[in-house]
Structure 1
Amino acid sequence: MPVDGNDSTECDVDVGFVNHLYAVTYAVILIPGLITNVLALWVFYAYVKETKRAVIFMINLAVADLLQVLSLPLRIFYYLSHSWPFGQFLCMFCFYLKYVNMYASIFFLVCISVRRFLYLIYPFRFTDRRRVLDVYVSFAGWIVVCLSCLPFPLLRIGSQNVTVPNNLCFVDLPLMDIGIANSIITVTLAELFGFVTPLLIVVYCSWRTIMSLREPDSLCHDLGEKKKALKMILTCAVVFLICFAPYHISFPLDFLAKARKISSCSQRKAILTFHPVALCLASLNCCLDPVIYYFTTDEFKRRLSKQEIQDSTEMQIYCNEGFIKRECALEVLGTNRSIL
């Protein structure tokens, strides 16, 4: 049933509500997101050579979150002032960063789950050479994510044949009409490869890790190590579901509502209201991702202590000077059995 102009206005979401929602959400996550991700990068940089368990992926996850956090002040300014004086390029770049952060976070959450699971099942196969492979996987992941997210800004830039004030940005920009068939294909591919497949991988890793707890004769005999791996993988799954499931549920519904394929006014308004909330939940991953490498291991918290960093530095100097190399190496090895 077609919707007339008056009904269309009544069924639209309250713009004031959306602007305040975005401004408040971004203001709340700005400082915690900045502090936790900078702190995480600092710790990872100091101890990257001591661990082989997913730390490369955690570094990339923190970088993705930090890029998103650095764009938040401009977003807050826009949603409070309802004006964008910084030019179209910066607008599109900030708009693009949001989706790059979301799908890069999804990619690296999956990589962390897979790496932690594989290290638990095959603990003797992961050497320094395998860690170099993590670097290559991360590099390839960034390329794929950046290329895959290009349609988000391009579909906004391509709609500039519509008369739009120069001071508008982000969600206020019109979306280019690429036809219903192309839109369905685009949404389906984004849902399948951006959410469904990663979710299945994380669920599988969680399930296999839980099953490994019941296998007494596995390669990894340390029950505590298994529980740490399970805690980390389940935390990845929880962050994944809290931040990204609502958005990918609302994404196709939002498309149908904006395409006027849903005739019910109340349903359209509910969908168009829920979608901004889902986008805000997706932005919360900047603060929730550090939970994975902070609260899932006592080792990370221990390494944040001043005394631990000082002891580690003194031990490294002692080793470099050549005193009792074998004993020093054994001590370092024993210190780092509980690794990320």
Structure 2
Amino acid sequence: MENTMNSTSDNDYNYDNYYPDYYSVASPDEDVNLGYCREAACIITVIFNVIIFLLGIIGNGAVIWITGFKMKKSVNTTWYLSLALSDFIFCATLPFTIDYMLKGSWIFGLFMCKFNSFVMTLNMYSSIFILVIISVDRCITVKFPVWAQNQRTVQKASVVVLLVWLVSSLLSIPPAKFRDITNHGSKDICYSNYEHHHKIVVFMRFILGFLIPFLTIFTCYSILIGKLGAKQMSKFTKPFKIMTLLITAFFICWLPFQVVSILELNRTERSFAFHTAQQVSGSLACANSFLNPFIYAFMAKDFKKKCYSFLSKIESAFDEEN
């Protein structure tokens, strides 16, 4: 038991395990009450995750219905359908996380411990990869309009999406592989037993899931701004703004998590402040999964002047994209 605990203390926190885990900050000899969700920070985090779950299921479900069944298939709707599916699947797994936070014990078994980790990491990779694809697609459409008009097809876009999901799935296997369950008294703890692979997983996630996508998107933006200029920008204002907001929301939500994850690698002791930073940054990362549908809605035409239904606002945003 002591060996298990020692291995846990060095690799307790990652995206899959953002929720409070006192098992990770305590030594084997400390008397820890694992039914711990009594503090204000934990209660607020639980409430926040319940809100993310409800809004994410409703909002992304609406986007899936509109882009998948109501609207004519296009390259743009293919991108946004994939993005909504990724966020919807992640939000659907949040009740497992919420239950774990409340009880301090994982009651769903080893398979769900690993699967929950897999889905969370899959959401991170697939979301940022789709945003990169949208940025590259916008860039190609503006810089090579004739070629894009002839080559951009729904079939090719679907193939690209399948490749994105395949690569994202492969990259999500390592975090799930290292997920394990250990017992502490009457509590089962779902944690990441990385052994000596913690730094590899964290830096791989940072480079592939943040740094390279950021540089790619920045390059696409630079090309777009250089190509369009001030005069032609108005023609592409709506798609450009939607893309900008989606990408900005992703980086605002994910940057704190990436920073905290890297800082955590060099820490030998877990302070309460750092533990709180883990909770906050993890919850902020999760919040990205319900923001996108509201970005579509708020970007719909004449939002402030007309009281269209929520679904009509989202469909309007996609119509303007097309």
User: What letter corresponds to residue 251 of structure 2 in structure 1?
Assistant: L
Instruction: Give 1:116's aligned residue.
Output: 138
Q: Does 1:339 align with 2:283?
A: no
How far residue 250 of structure 1 moved from its aligned partner, in angstroms, is 0.9
Cα 1:185–1:337 change in 2 (3 A) is closer
User: What letter corresponds to residue 248 of structure 2 in structure 1?
Assistant: V
Instruction: Give 1:254's aligned residue.
Output: 264
How many angstroms apart in 1 are the aligned matches of 2:194 and 2:95?
30
Structure 1: unaligned runs, 5 residues or longer? 310-335
User: What letter corresponds to residue 72 of structure 2 in structure 1?
Assistant: K
Give the count of matched residue pairs. Answer: 284
How far residue 42 of structure 1 moved from its aligned partner, in angstroms, is 1.3
TM-score of the two chains, using structure 2 as the length reference: 0.75
User: What letter corresponds to residue 100 of structure 1 in structure 2?
Assistant: L
How many angstroms apart in 1 are the aligned matches of 2:137 and 2:211?
19
Aligned-pair Cα RMSD in Å = 3.4
Kept in 2, the 8 Å contact 1:37–1:290? The answer is yes
Q: Does 1:73 align with 2:95?
A: yes
How many angstroms apart in 1 are the aligned matches of 2:140 and 2:192?
42
What is the percent sequence identity of the aligned residues?
26
How far residue 44 of structure 1 moved from its aligned partner, in angstroms, is 0.6
Cα 1:163–1:50 change in 2 (3 A) is closer
The DSSP-based 3-state class of the residue aligned with 1:84 is coil
How far residue 36 of structure 1 moved from its aligned partner, in angstroms, is 0.8
- Rg (Cα) greater in structure: 1
Q: Does 1:190 align with 2:205?
A: yes
How many angstroms apart in 1 are the aligned matches of 2:285 and 2:137?
23
Instruction: Give 2:245's aligned residue.
Output: 235
Residue from 3, 13, 32 that aligns with 2:55: 32
Instruction: Give 2:195's aligned residue.
Output: 178
Residue from 245, 248, 254 that aligns with 2:255: 245
Kept in 2, the 8 Å contact 1:120–1:229? The answer is no
How many angstroms apart in 1 are the aligned matches of 2:262 and 2:56?
29
The DSSP-based 3-state class of the residue aligned with 2:229 is coil
The DSSP-based 3-state class of the residue aligned with 1:173 is strand
How many angstroms apart in 1 are the aligned matches of 2:310 and 2:54?
22
Task: Map Cα deviations across residues 231-262 of structure 1 (whole Å, 9 max, x no partner).
Answer: 123112211222111111111112222xx1xx
How many angstroms apart in 2 are the aligned matches of 1:128 and 1:303?
34
Instruction: Give 1:316's aligned residue.
Output: none
Kept in 2, the 8 Å contact 1:84–1:167? The answer is yes
Cα 1:224–1:337 change in 2 (3 A) is farther
User: What letter corresponds to residue 278 of structure 1 in structure 2?
Assistant: S
Task: Map Cα deviations across residues 61-113 of structure 1 (whole Å, 9 max, x no partner).
Answer: 10011101111223222222333333221232123211211221111122222
How many angstroms apart in 2 are the aligned matches of 1:299 and 1:46?
25
How many angstroms apart in 2 are the aligned matches of 1:156 and 1:166?
20
Cα 1:293–1:201 change in 2 (3 A) is farther
User: What letter corresponds to residue 286 of structure 2 in structure 1?
Assistant: S
How many angstroms apart in 2 are the aligned matches of 1:32 and 1:337?
23
